Structure 1
Amino acid sequence: MKCTLSLLLFVLLKFNFGFAQVSIPYNLKQEKETIILPNELREISGLTIIDSKTLACVQDEEGIAFIYDLSTQKVIRKIDFAGPGDYEGIAPVGKDLYILRSDGELFQIQNFTKSNPKIDSIATGIPNKDNEGLCFDKENKRLLIGSKSKIAKGAAFKNIRTIYAFDYTKKKLQSEPIYSYDITVIKDFAQNQGIELPTKQSKKNPEEQEVALKFQLSGIYIHPTSKLLYVLSASDFYLFVFNHKGEIQHLEILDPVKFNKAEGIAIMPNGDLYVSNEGQAGLPKILLFSENKKK
């Protein structure tokens, strides 16, 4: 009987949150290539895939979309879409490019390959004041907007981070978040999976340590094959992976030197993973990680 109870307790602890840690097909400790970017992209804050040889990037000071050729490793085109501002995310939808400003405003560059594309600005009405993640959800024909900040003030929202869906055909934001992530649940997931999270000195009690997990979304992208959502948190050096139900599948602590300020993430159809880092004290760069193929 005692043995049965012990086994039951183990099962409850192990599967308290429904999932064991799922491995991802990347070794984030060893990049395949480091791409050094020009100084004009020192503040790179978002990137996305155009095709197998081309990326599109934005930086968080100027209203310019940079088209970057991976084969020549050069910026081959610049598209002015707005004045100076805090631009954080970029995503392609068909022939258009969408850029996210941190206050939630979207800028649509229509037929961006044309010499003089039409620019449209869209007020999404997202309640969060600071938004950094933007990606195309192809299967559901929508854009996802990831918020770095809380949805509102108050203790009830302190540990909640949200992602909203934007219908680009109707130019309308879904009224409620499609994903709401609870930091407390993520901490418990890490504990149950034996993942030791970094700690910091507690503000309430300086003699104690507390888990250092802000979970401030800085970049989001849906893996083209697994359909899992990859989420970066640049400020505290984490990568999170969630399924389509919003359930956490994987948590990885990133090297703060290698990922000094990782605000952009994109994944090629062949699985190649690109992560951009601001220059800060060094050079801006994009890290390329090859997908480990199943044998």
Structure 2
Amino acid sequence: MKIFSWKIISLFVITLSLGWTTEMGSGYNIQKPNTTFVLPDILHEISGLTDIDQRTIACIQDENGIIFIYDIVLNKIKKQYNFHLDGDYEGITKVGTTMYVLRSDGVLFEFLNYESPNFKLKTYQTGIPAHNNEGLCYDADSNILLIANKGKSVKGKEFKDKRAIYGFDLKTKKLTTSPVYEFDINVIKKHVADKKIKVPTKLKKGENPEPFIKLMTSAIAIHPMSKKLYVLSAADHLFFVFNRNGSIHHIEPLSTTVFNKAEGITFLENGDMLITNEGQQKKPTFLRFNYKPTGVKK
């Protein structure tokens, strides 16, 4: 498994910004979901989801240690599995017959044979350096779980604008010593400015307005076909797609009308993208976007 430093990623992104590659979009009309429905009140704080099959997902909410099995055709909860005490649970992903749940402090819960009445639960203290983690997904090609930091992962002013995604090796059950992905917000801002992507701006005294981007990751997922990394930043209302080497493929603002607070993302086998919104002062929602693959221009 290759580990990319932020310096290398920065070089790739700068190269992209200079126009050596043309980004072709996300494969979805992110502003117009093909299916939208309101989730039940018990999922008001929905914070993560993962696909099980073409009509079933598993999801969690960030207050209770419960896995909800949800039928997205009938729009109802099918089953519930209580796995732990109340806590701040932020991510869930399925690997075979095992469910993994991420708590914000970096603790991983391994829910073996989750459908069995004799299921086993294991807990792993990952030792991830960040105190606030929200993104979790499975990278099948590397057999690791990707864990995304919501803010900076390491103390120090020099890390203020860095965002990391670590790997949890499912063979060794250990965290990678270095991030698998690490992004520089200043490089992302330059890309946004060069591509004239419309995002909120911040005006510093005596300077020109610059893009206002925090990249506080709320959910991540690997696309089943392209293998690109999809990232949501609910705080920014931004949608990112990164290539396997960490370079930027696509950035797009999210409609505040459609996306109240995008906290979960996953994909079905056919490529359809599913996103869930936490309720806050509104209702929690489920959104489905049909996959429309695009060509790649050089």
Which TM-score applies when normalising by structure 2?
0.90
Query: Equivalent residue for 1:29?
Result: 31
Give distance in 1, aligned partners of 2:128 and 2:16. 37
Tell whether the 8 Å contact from 2:94 to 2:138 is kept in structure 1 after alignment. yes
- Equivalent residue runs for 1:90-169 within 5 Å: 90-169=92-171
Counterparts of 1:1-295 in structure 2, within 5 Å, are 15-16=17-18, 18-200=20-202, 202=204, 205=205, 209-293=209-293
Q: Aligned in 2, Cα 1:262/1:172: closer, same or farther, shift over 3 Å? A: same
Whole-Å separation in 2 of the counterparts to 1:132 and 1:103: 9
Secondary structure of residue in 2 paired with 1:235: coil
Secondary structure of residue in 2 paired with 1:185: helix
Corresponding letter in the other structure for 1:280: Q
Contact 2:16/2:247 (8 A) holds in 1: no
| Higher CA-based Rg | 1
Q: 1:18 to 1:155 in 2, by over 3 A?
A: farther
Worse-matched range after superposition: 107-116 or 91-100: 107-116
Task: Report how far residue 149 of structure 1 moved.
Answer: 1.6
User: Per-residue deviation at 1:263?
Assistant: 0.7
Q: Which amino acid aligns with 1:243?
A: N
Q: 1:166 to 1:13 in 2, by over 3 A?
A: closer
Secondary structure of 2:235's aligned partner: helix
Work out whether residues 21 and 251 of structure 1, in 8 Å CA contact, stay in contact via their aligned partners in 2: no
- C-alpha separation in 1, matches of 2:109 and 2:287: 27
Q: Is the 8 A contact 2:161 2:184 kept in 1?
A: yes
For 1:236, what is the secondary structure of its paired residue?
Answer: coil
Q: CA deviation at 1:158?
A: 0.7
Gaps of 5+ in 2: 1-13
1:234-268 residue CA offsets vs partner (Å, 9 max, x unmatched): 01100110011111110000011211100100111
Q: 1:24-57 CA deviation, whole Å, 9 max, x = no partner?
A: 2110111111121111100000001011111000
Residue ranges of structure 1 left out of the alignment (5+ in a row): 1-11
Q: How many residues align?
A: 282
Amino acid aligned to 1:221: A
TM-score (norm 1): 0.91
CA distance in 2: counterparts of 1:37 and 1:67, whole angstroms? 13
Shift of 1:20: 3.0
Secondary structure in 1 matching 2:263: strand
- Corresponding residue SS for 2:77: strand
Deviation at 1:115, TM superposition (A): 2.1
| Equivalent position amino acid for 1:260 in 2 | N
Amino acid across the alignment from 1:244:
R
Q: CA deviation at 1:13?
A: 8.8
Task: Work out the CA distance in 2 between the residues paired with 1:34 and 1:98.
Answer: 26
Of structures 1 and 2, the one with the larger relative CO (CA 8 A, separation 6+) is 2
Partner AA of 2:133 in structure 1? N
Shift of 1:16: 2.7
User: Residues 178 and 70 from structure 1, CA distance in 2 versus in 1: closer, same or farther, beyond 3 angstroms?
Assistant: same
8 Å CA contact 1:20, 1:193 repeated in 2:
no
The question of whether the paired residues in 1 share the 8 Å contact of 2:16 and 2:248 is answered with: no
